Amino acid sequence: MKLRLAALLVAALAATPVFAAENRCGWLQNPTPGNWWLDDAEGSWTIMSQGAGEGPEGMDLIPDISERDYVATNGNYGYACACMKVETDDADGSITQILSFRQLALSKCKNDSNLSSPQ
C-alpha cells in the first residue's frame, strides 16, 4: 500500500509544472490600457491583456514607466526598456509571476542586437 501511494505521489509531482525564476530583459510595452508584454531575445511574453483580469502576481512592482526613460506612443501609453525576474509559462508565452522589476535606459535595449525594435 505504501509503495502504491509513493508511486501515485511521484506521478502527481511529475505532472505538476515546475516554474523557475528567470531574468528577462527587453522592451516592456504598454500600448493601451490593460495591455502589457515584454519582448526579449527569445520572443514576446504576455504579461496582461485587457479584459483578462488583473495580471500576474507582482504586477504592482512595475512603477509608472513614464517617469523614467520612456517613449510615449499613444497618449500616456508607450514602451520602456526593462529587466524583470519572472516566472513564465513557455506553453502559452506568458509571464505568470513578477518577482522584481528594474527599468533601464532606452539605449540599453536600442544597442542590444538581439532585440527587435518595439512596435
Amino acid 28: pLDDT: 98
DSSP letter (8 states) at residue 118: P
Cell of 79: 514602451
- What is the C-alpha separation between 3 and 23, in angstroms, rounded? 39
- What is the C-alpha separation between 45 and 97, in angstroms, rounded? 12
76-106 pLDDT, tens digit per residue, is 899 999 999 999 999 999 999 999 999 999 9
7-28 pLDDT, tens digit per residue, is 555 555 555 555 579 999 999 9
C-beta of residue 29 within 8 angstroms of C-beta of residue 119? yes
Instruction: Catalogue all structural domains in the chain, each as residue range(s) with its CATH number.
Output: 20-110 (2.40.50)
DSSP letter (8 states) at residue 60: G
Q: Nearest Cα to 33, choosing from 78, 95, 97?
A: 78
Cell of 119: 512596435
pTM: 0.81
